[in-house]
Amino acid sequence: MKVAVLGYGTVGVGVYEMLKAAKGLEAGPVLVRPGKENEAFKVSSIEKITEDPSVDAVAEVMGGVEPAFTYAMAAIRAGKHFVTSNKALVAAKGVELNRAAKEAGVSFLFSAACGGGVPFLHNLARAAQTDEILSVGGILNGTTNFMLDQMQSTGKDYAAALKEAQELGYAEADPTADVTGLDALRKIMLACAVAWGVLPQDGLLNEGIDSLSAADVKDFMARGRVCRLVASGQRAADGRISAYVEPVLVRAGDAESAVLKNYNMARYEGKNAGPIAMIGQGAGRYPTASAVLRDLSGICAGEAAMFPADCVDGSADNSAAKHAYYVRLPKACGDLFPAAEILADNGEELRILTEEISVQKMHESAAALRKAGHAVFFAAVREA
Ligand code: HSE
């Protein structure tokens, strides 16, 4: 199967290199920006790919919704299988792409868009066909996991840890989506759609680690806690789906605390299978490229889709989710949350442990405080 590649950045180079060595796959043209066609295999117009009858499949690793969506639809309508690592694209347009691919009789797979090299969505899609999936989630962003691990194990500050994650090729071109939790949110959106056939487009909540300081990390360590950015997706018995991302203070012995560097821990719970967790590199050139290649080889073996055929866009409802939270906030705003314990009070700032409160209230209150110019950090506290 001859594969054209859209994009020649960190992941694109990895995909092209792996294609040249892969059994049953052949490297085709690579789409680059006009003016960058400095080698024979590079082209700068999508038509050179969609109108090339020798190309069987297109692997998109450019990122962003446009022009990736326009190129994806052109490829699918031209009868090419379509594989992508692009979370933003699938989170925004996945239902439309799924429908178009089904109509055109081609495959649409996106393993690399959730979990990097971890074979999560492929296995989740298989499990969803025969088991009832109760929940999905885990550590789904390699950049922030790398940063949290570095801040904890070396005492690095936030800016130095981010710079290193960027240099290692883990972060998005603009790392805002990584550090604000949006990248992990897009991934949990995909997992929800694979598990339950509903791609939530609104009602979602994401809190990242962009308010975290080195002093917070020291404080967590002194309390025997480890901070991880965790995505949660759950379907209630009445069919409502909750989906959110937030920092969580796990216990030092919890599985997440052992997930280091750029690793992800993606998990689902099946009614019959019970809890399943998969750990592996969640970001980086070759881990991500390996997931793209796995999808391409899956197509050769007849794998057609990850979303159910009738997958629809829908909404998340986080109104029932509740946790106790660790909150750092100005003392003047201290009575906003019911405090179970005041952990520290330096006269200006408080660190409190709240009673169990609604996830929605926590996220919305933090956003309101920030809008009013206050510094806030919060993290859910895993039960002792
Ligand atoms: N920026 C993403 C991450 C890349 O750090 O997880 C893999 O999706």
pLDDT value, residue 2: 98
What is the SS3 assignment for 148? helix
pLDDT value, residue 384: 74
Provide mean pLDDT across the span 79-96: 98
pLDDT value, residue 183: 98
pLDDT tens profile 7-42: 999 999 999 999 999 999 999 999 999 999 999 999
Contact 98, 121 (CB under 8 A): no
The three-point CA angle 57-62-68 to 5° equals: 70
Torsion angles phi and psi, residue 115, rounded to 5: 100, 0
Provide mean pLDDT across the span 168-177: 95
C-beta 178 within 6 A of ligand 1: yes
Provide mean pLDDT across the span 332-343: 95
Q: Quick one: which of 98, 128, 76 has its CA closest to 313?
A: 98
C-beta 172 within 6 A of ligand 1: yes
C-beta 282 within 6 A of ligand 1: yes
Q: Is the pLDDT of residue 266 over 80?
A: yes
pLDDT tens profile 182-232: 999 999 999 999 999 999 999 999 999 999 999 999 999 999 999 999 999
- Which of the listed residues 183, 188, 245, 265 should we mutate to test ligand 1's pocket, taking the one with most ligand atoms within 8 A of CB? 183
Residues 142 and 229: their CA atoms lie apart, in Å, by 10
Q: Is the pLDDT of residue 301 over 90?
A: yes
Q: Whose CA is nearest to atom 1 of ligand 1?
A: 171
Q: Is the pLDDT of residue 257 over 90?
A: yes
The atom number, within ligand 1, closest to the CA of 187 reads: 8
Catalytic residue among 187, 218, 271, 331: 187
Provide mean pLDDT across the span 275-299: 98
Residues 110 and 297: their CA atoms lie apart, in Å, by 13
The atom number, within ligand 1, closest to the CA of 264 reads: 6
Torsion angles phi and psi, residue 106, rounded to 5: -120, 170
pLDDT value, residue 315: 98
Confidence band for 279, pLDDT divided at 50, 70 and 90 = very high
Burial of 134 (0-12, 13-18, 19+ CB in 10 A): middle
Active site annotation includes 187:
yes
pLDDT value, residue 322: 97
Contact 49, 75 (CB under 8 A): yes
- Which of the listed residues 139, 143, 164, 264 should we mutate to test ligand 1's pocket, taking the one with most ligand atoms within 8 A of CB? 143
pLDDT value, residue 6: 98
Question: Quick one: tokens of 364?
Answer: 């919305």
CA of 189 to the centre of ligand 1 (A): 15
Domains and CATH numbers, the chain: 322-381 (3.30.70.120)
Average pLDDT value for the chain? 97
pLDDT value, residue 46: 98
- The residues facing 353 across adjacent strands are 326, 341
Q: Is the pLDDT of residue 383 over 90?
A: no
**What is the number of residues in the chain?**
384
pLDDT tens profile 59-70: 999 999 999 999
Provide mean pLDDT across the span 304-318: 98
**CA 171, 175, 177, 179 torsion: positive or negative?**
positive
C-beta 219 within 6 A of ligand 1: no
CA of 142 to the centre of ligand 1 (A): 5
In sequence order, what E strands does the chain have?
2-6, 26-31, 42-43, 57-60, 81-84, 108-109, 133-139, 198-202, 205-206, 225-235, 241-251, 263-270, 274-281, 312-315, 322-330, 339-345, 349-358, 377-381
